[in-house]
């Protein structure tokens, strides 16, 4: 069974009873289906993106996969083990990074946090040393190991957290928003590292994100969840087609002008003083559009925006092309 | 295409944890993990040395001032509820040491509610160590040895001055009293923490039973209304922390007229309470894992 | 002025939202009330008129002080941890550039909090105490009014002390140590553990002159009718004097601290 799916979900549901205030003392109960019958398989060594709007059920799924939450219904297996029943045993085989919750020790140097991981997970000394060396090299942690965590920047801390989740050689790594709030350099380092780990060790990776670039650069397969249901499972190209997503060229002109017209393949979607927004298809290169604008308009500055994940999903959903 | 990225099978074969750990080894492992986390907190504390020294002294002095109040009372009177000052010191020292020990070992369990609220509780659930152990060691505060040492000091002073004819058996009895008392308070701490899975804001209720209970136990039972004494004997059996065993040491009758063998029940009561609290914790944790809130 | 009134109102509202926590606090105050009331009963049985109180006055002292424990933030838990956290994280630099005065801002917020705690945490324990024991509560509404005034002065004095403690965070990275010592002194020298009138000899006389005496001992004595006429005026003046002195000291410390922030560039 583990041949076809390292992670297996069949009809998994998670229902919460939510109590809401409905007056001074009265509380209303109602049921929320955070995850509503999800099924998928992830093979060993795959790197899969798991995306969806806020409150779609991403984090709930991850919490069930790690054994934190017990599913209300359905069957769930990770490496042949039921996570909620054998949570502590499974913990040795999984690594988890919660984007905004550090597991590092605030007042101690990074090295001390790693030492605790080594002892807690009983990682053999030699293996620990080689793992740490590799993480330090790939995540550029060399100068940070002896700095108290409270003095690290958000990006440095996230890199430190990711390394901490990998020191015990987990077979699967769950990342919940690993690049949220990071600067460009840190994002690039994190992505490069994940690619490396996946290729080198065959670690299975499941990551949730709001940044479509993460998915584009890391995953060939992406699953989209919305309202607790899987609405897409497949390649990223298919997602783009399904969502008919567009990139945006933002141009700053020398002065406020009427909407730009006559640029092939692009249309102006918004004007705000001297700044204008032009939408164009994701598959198309931005260069000819920029050239066409620069030729006829007084161009001061420009930037290209990648399609926003929420946009893509919203469009895909509106188009009724979900699975 | 789903398998396209299934790269080379791991170059580093991951080591497997030893399977099927026996119960005894599990308990040892839990103790070891507790020690590991505690060591981290102690090291963290040392990052603010001045604050550590001040809080340790504060902890010592806090309970010291408590006892100073008792001494001020005795500057006006000779007996309170029929007890002399050294006799009260014995009561005070016993409960203060027990509470101090429980507080030292798992005094930050009231942070469970906050951890649940800010989501950091989840990070504890993905580690290969029992959650109860992690929560017990959370924010371990070495400064609390201040209270323990102050309690022990008063206990020793009371033990010498209260006119007890000490024998090795009585000394052993007193030591068991303090340890069983600590276990009783520990059970209250665990039960209080478990309660927070249902109502995080109600954390303060627990201190009624720990600090409030300990304040009560500092004074002779005769001071209190009979219903109150019954309450802490039969409902929340705090009376076994020091009252019941100490009355025997001092050769006094207990006001409820319980049979003599009850005086030796402290450890059994402590064990039962710990089991009950552990059960409550399990139910609470299960509830959290099915509701996520 | 209107700004500070708004700050006070929001301070009141903020604490009003923690309903379960308030109930839990009331429960704890009531339990402690029973325990201490029993010991005081025994003490006053042995020595009637100890500290100038009769038995019912002593019991009133217990229950009123339990009711005021949260109002005066004697165990911390008011604004000071929050202010210290802002100092520690550097957010304080933002506060200093606000068009409002730092000290007045926090005083207003703290008065709002105290107002809520008086209703939320004061009324129930005192009522329970009055039902279970024979208390010496005055029937004269004027005495209650003067008590409220005295309690208000007590809150301001308490604020003055805690503001100084909070500002220590500018010089010490971690406030836990000073907070602990402060709570300790508060519990003992306000009369929370034992009325200051029971403290013997010179020690007692000094304790009754310290600022902590103005926080709890004086308001409770006012309610018990210990002071009257010129004595009452003197008691209130004693509180007002400490309030002014402490606020001034807080202001001086604040400007020292501000200079430190400016020099360090926030």
pLDDT in tens, B92-139: 999 999 999 999 998 888 889 888 888 889 999 999 999 999 999 998
Contact residues, chain B to chain C, C-beta under 8 Å: 48, 50-55, 57-59, 61-62, 65-66, 68-69, 72-73, 75-77, 79-81, 199, 201-205, 207-208, 212, 215-216, 219, 222-225, 228
Q: Where are the domains of chain B?
A: 16-287
pLDDT confidence of residue B13: 42
One-letter-per-residue 3-state SS of chain C: CHHHHHHHHHHHHHHHCCHHHHHHHHHHHHHHHHHHHHHHHHHHHHCCCHHHCCHHHHHHHHHHHHHHHCCCCCCCCCCHHHHHHHHHHCCHHHHHCCCCCHHHHHHHHHHHHHHHHHHHHHHHHHHHHHHHCCCCCCCCHHHHHHHHHHHHHHHHHHHHHHHHHHHHHHCCCCCHHHHHHHHHHHHHHCCCCCCHHHCCHHHHHHHCCCHHHHCCHHHHHHHHCCCCCHHHHHHHHHHHHHHHHHHHHHHHHHHHHHHHHHHHCC
Q: Select from B34, B120, B126 the residue whose CB has the most chain A CBs within 10 Å, as the one to mutate to test that interface.
A: B126
Q: pLDDT band at residue A239, thresholds of 50, 70 and 90?
A: low
Instruction: Please tell me the distance in Å from B68's CA to the nearest CA on chain A.
Output: 36
Work out how many CB contacts closer than 8 A connect A with B. 135
The overall average pLDDT reported for chain A is 86
Of A93, A105, A203, the CB nearest to B44: A105
Share of chain B above pLDDT 90, in %: 62
CB atoms within 10 A of CB B91: 26
Chain B environment of C175 (Cβ under 8 Å)? 51
Tell me the C-alpha distance between B164 and B72, whole Å. 24
When pLDDT is averaged across residues A172-183 and rounded to a whole number, the result is 89
- Does the pLDDT at position B15 exceed 50? no
Tell me the C-alpha distance between A308 and A243, whole Å. 11
- Does the pLDDT at position A1 exceed 60? no
Tell me the C-alpha distance between C133 and B138, whole Å. 41
Of B1, B10, B289, the CB nearest to A84: B289
A170 DSSP 8-state letter: -
Q: pLDDT band at residue A23, thresholds of 50, 70 and 90?
A: low
Closest to C64 (Cα-Cα) out of C143, C9, C8, C142: C143
pLDDT confidence of residue B201: 79
Instruction: Please tell me the distance in Å from B131's CA to the nearest CA on chain A.
Output: 9
pLDDT confidence of residue B109: 87
Q: Which pair of tokens denotes residue C166?
A: 């909070």
Do A120 and B290 make contact, defined as CB atoms within 8 angstroms? no
pLDDT confidence of residue A22: 61
- Does the pLDDT at position B267 exceed 50? yes
When pLDDT is averaged across residues B277-283 and rounded to a whole number, the result is 96
- Does the pLDDT at position A309 exceed 70? no
- Dihedral sign, Cα of residue C61, residue C63, residue C69, residue C72: negative
| Digit-coded pLDDT (tens) for C187-196 | 999 999 999 9
Lowest mean pLDDT among A98-102, B166-170, C120-124, C217-221: A98-102
| Digit-coded pLDDT (tens) for B57-73 | 888 887 788 899 999 99
pLDDT confidence of residue A125: 94
What is the Cα Rg of chain C in Å?
Answer: 19
Do A91 and B5 make contact, defined as CB atoms within 8 angstroms? no
Do B208 and C172 make contact, defined as CB atoms within 8 angstroms? no
Q: Looking at the complex, does the CB of residue B123 fall below 8 Å from at least one CB of chain A? A: yes
Q: Which pair of tokens denotes residue B69?
A: 């109040």
- The number of helices, as runs of H, and strands, as runs of E, in chain B is 13, 0
CB atoms within 10 A of CB A144: 21
Tell me the C-alpha distance between C24 and C32, whole Å. 12
pLDDT confidence of residue B124: 93
Q: Which pair of tokens denotes residue B256?
A: 């409820």
| Digit-coded pLDDT (tens) for C46-104 | 999 999 999 999 999 999 999 999 999 888 777 888 888 888 777 888 787 777 888 99
Of A70, A123, A202, the CB nearest to B290: A70
Q: Which pair of tokens denotes residue C254?
A: 């604040």
State the greatest distance between any 2 C-alpha atoms of chain C, in Å, as a whole number: 62
Instruction: Please tell me the distance in Å from A320's CA to the nearest CA on chain B.
Output: 24
Q: How far is CA C126 from CA B263, C29, C35, C114, C133, in A?
A: 37, 10, 14, 16, 10
- Does the pLDDT at position B2 exceed 50? no
pLDDT confidence of residue A300: 85
Whether A58 and A225 have beta carbons less than 8 Å apart is answered as yes
pLDDT confidence of residue C107: 95
| Digit-coded pLDDT (tens) for B206-222 | 889 999 999 999 999 99
pLDDT confidence of residue A68: 93
Share of chain A above pLDDT 70, in %: 89
| Digit-coded pLDDT (tens) for B192-204 | 999 999 887 778 8
Of B48, B77, B215, the CB nearest to C46: B77
Lowest mean pLDDT among A227-231, B4-8, B40-44, B129-133: B4-8
Tell me the C-alpha distance between C55 and C58, whole Å. 5
pLDDT confidence of residue C183: 87
- Dihedral sign, Cα of residue A206, residue A212, residue A214, residue A215: positive
Expressed in angstroms, the distance from the first to the final Cα of chain C is 28
pLDDT confidence of residue A311: 67
Give percent helix, percent strand, percent coil of chain A, each to the nearest 5: 35, 30, 35
- Does the pLDDT at position A2 exceed 70? no
pLDDT confidence of residue B253: 81
- Does the pLDDT at position B1 exceed 70? no
When pLDDT is averaged across residues B215-230 and rounded to a whole number, the result is 92
Closest to A164 (Cα-Cα) out of A135, A137, A204, A187: A135
Tell me the C-alpha distance between A57 and B291, whole Å. 14
The overall average pLDDT reported for chain C is 91
> What secondary structure does DSSP assign to B196-240, as a single string?
TTT-GGGGGHHHIIIIIHHHHHTS-GGGS-HHHHHIIIIIS-GGG
Do B11 and A198 make contact, defined as CB atoms within 8 angstroms? no
Lowest mean pLDDT among A16-25, A221-230, A290-299, C90-99: A16-25
- Does the pLDDT at position A269 exceed 70? yes
Q: Where are the domains of chain C?
A: 2-257
Do B58 and C181 make contact, defined as CB atoms within 8 angstroms? yes
Q: pLDDT band at residue B292, thresholds of 50, 70 and 90?
A: low
- Does the pLDDT at position A322 exceed 50? no
- Does the pLDDT at position C265 exceed 60? no
Lowest mean pLDDT among A203-207, A260-264, B95-99: A260-264
pLDDT confidence of residue A310: 65
Instruction: Please tell me the distance in Å from A98's CA to the nearest CA on chain B.
Output: 8
- Dihedral sign, Cα of residue A62, residue A65, residue A66, residue A72: positive
Tell me the C-alpha distance between B141 and C145, whole Å. 44
**Plot region of A79 (φ>0 → left; ψ -120 to 50 → alpha; else → beta):** left
Top-ranked range on mean pLDDT: pick from A16-20, B56-60, C226-230: C226-230
| Digit-coded pLDDT (tens) for C235-244 | 999 999 999 9
| Digit-coded pLDDT (tens) for C166-175 | 998 888 767 7
Chains near C (3 or more Cβ pairs under 8 Å): B
The overall average pLDDT reported for chain B is 87
Q: Which pair of tokens denotes residue B184?
A: 């009783």
Q: Give the list of residues 6+ apart from residue C158 with CB closer than 8 angstroms, or none.
A: C72, C73, C74, C186, C215
Name the more confident of A55 and B152: B152
When pLDDT is averaged across residues A218-229 and rounded to a whole number, the result is 90
């Amino acid at each position: 069974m583990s041949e076809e799916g390292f992670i297996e979900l069949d009809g998994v549901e998670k229902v919460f009873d939510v109590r809401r205030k409905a007056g001074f003392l009265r509380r209303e109960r109602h049921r929320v289906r955070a995850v509503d019958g999800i099924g998928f398989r992830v093979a060993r060594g795959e790197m899969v993106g798991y995306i969806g709007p806020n409150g779609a059920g991403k984090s709930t799924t991850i919490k069930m996969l790690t054994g934190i939450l017990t599913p209300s219904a359905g069957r769930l297996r990770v490496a042949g083990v039921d996570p909620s029943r054998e949570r502590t045993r499974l913990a040795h085989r999984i690594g988890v990074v919660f984007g905004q919750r550090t597991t590092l020790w605030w007042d101690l140097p990074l090295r001390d946090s790693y030492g605790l991981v080594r002892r807690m997970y009983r990682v053999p000394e030699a293996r620990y040393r080689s793992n740490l060396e590799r993480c330090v090299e790939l995540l550029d942690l060399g100068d940070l190991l002896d700095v108290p965590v409270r003095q690290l920047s958000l990006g440095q801390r996230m890199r430190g957290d990711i390394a901490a989740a990998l020191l015990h050689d987990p077979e699967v790594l769950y990342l919940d928003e690993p690049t949220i709030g990071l600067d460009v350099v840190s994002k690039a380092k994190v992505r490069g590292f994940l690619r490396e780990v996946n290729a080198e060790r065959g670690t299975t990776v499941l990551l949730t994100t709001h940044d479509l670039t993460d998915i584009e650069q890391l995953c060939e397969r992406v699953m989209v969840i919305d309202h607790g249901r899987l609405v897409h499972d497949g390649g990223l190209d298919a997602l783009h087609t399904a969502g008919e997503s567009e990139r945006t060229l933002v141009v700053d002109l020398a002065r406020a002008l009427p909407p730009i017209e006559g640029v092939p393949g692009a249309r102006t979607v918004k004007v705000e003083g001297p700044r204008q927004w032009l939408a164009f298809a994701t598959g198309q290169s931005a260069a000819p559009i920029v050239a066409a604008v620069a030729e006829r308009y007084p161009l001061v500055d420009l930037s290209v925006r990648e399609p926003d994940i929420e946009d893509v999903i919203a469009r895909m959903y509106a188009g009724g092309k979900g699975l | 295409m789903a398998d396209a990225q299934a790269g080379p099978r791991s170059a580093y074969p991951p080591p497997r944890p030893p399977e099927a750990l026996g119960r005894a080894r599990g308990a040892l492992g839990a103790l070891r993990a507790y020690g590991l986390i505690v060591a981290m907190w102690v090291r963290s504390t040392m990052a603010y040395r001045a604050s550590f020294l001040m809080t340790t002294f504060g902890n010592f002095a806090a309970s010291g001032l408590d006892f100073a109040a008792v001494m001020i009372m005795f500057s006006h009177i000779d007996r309170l509820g029929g007890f002399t000052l050294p006799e009260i010191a014995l009561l005070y020292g016993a409960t203060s040491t027990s509470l101090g020990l429980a507080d030292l070992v798992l005094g930050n369990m009231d942070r469970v509610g906050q951890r649940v609220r800010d989501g950091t509780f989840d990070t504890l659930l993905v580690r290969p160590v029992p959650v109860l152990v992690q929560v017990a060691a959370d924010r371990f505060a070495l400064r609390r040895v201040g209270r323990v040492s102050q309690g022990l000091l008063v206990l020793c002073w009371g033990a010498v001055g209260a006119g007890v004819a000490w024998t090795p058996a009585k000394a052993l009895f007193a030591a068991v009293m303090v340890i069983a008392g600590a276990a009783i308070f520990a059970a209250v701490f665990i039960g209080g923490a478990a309660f927070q899975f249902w109502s995080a804001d109600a954390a303060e209720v627990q201190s009624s039973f720990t600090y409030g209970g300990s304040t009560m136990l500092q004074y002779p039972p005769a001071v209190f209304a009979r219903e109150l004494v019954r309450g802490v004997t039969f409902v929340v059996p705090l009376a076994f922390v020091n009252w019941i065993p100490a009355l025997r040491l001092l050769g006094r009758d207990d006001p409820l007229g319980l049979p003599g063998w009850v005086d030796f029940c402290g450890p059994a009561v402590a064990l039962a309470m710990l089991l009950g609290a552990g059960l409550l914790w399990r139910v609470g944790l299960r509830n959290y894992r099915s509701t996520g809130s | 002025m209107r700004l500070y009134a708004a700050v006070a109102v929001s301070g009141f509202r903020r604490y009003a939202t923690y309903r379960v926590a308030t109930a839990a606090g009331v429960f704890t105050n009531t339990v402690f009330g029973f325990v201490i009331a029993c010991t005081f009963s025994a003490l006053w049985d042995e020595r009637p008129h100890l500290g100038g109180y009769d038995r019912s006055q002593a019991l009133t002292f217990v229950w009123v002080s339990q009711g005021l424990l949260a109002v005066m933030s004697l165990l911390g838990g008011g604004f000071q941890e929050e202010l210290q956290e802002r100092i520690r994280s550097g957010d304080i630099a933002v506060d200093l550039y606000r068009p409002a005065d730092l000290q007045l801002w926090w005083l207003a917020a703290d008065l709002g909090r105290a107002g809520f705690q008086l209703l939320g945490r004061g009324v129930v324990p005192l009522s329970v105490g009055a039902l279970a024991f024979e208390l010496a509560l005055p029937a004269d509404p004027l005495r209650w009014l003067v008590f409220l005034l005295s309690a208000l002065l007590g809150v301001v004095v308490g604020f003055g002390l805690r503001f100084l403690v909070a500002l220590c965070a500018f010089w010490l990275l971690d406030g836990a140590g000073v907070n602990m010592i402060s709570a300790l002194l508060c519990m003992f020298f306000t009369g929370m553990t034992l009325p200051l009138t029971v403290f013997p000899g010179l020690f007692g006389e000094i304790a009754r002159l310290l600022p902590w005496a103005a926080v709890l001992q004086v308001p409770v004595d006012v309610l018990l009718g210990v002071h009257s006429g010129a004595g009452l005026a003197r008691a209130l003046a004693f509180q007002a004097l400490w309030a002014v002195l402490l606020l001034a000291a807080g202001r001086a410390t604040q400007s020292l601290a501000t200079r430190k922030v400016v020099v360090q560039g926030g």
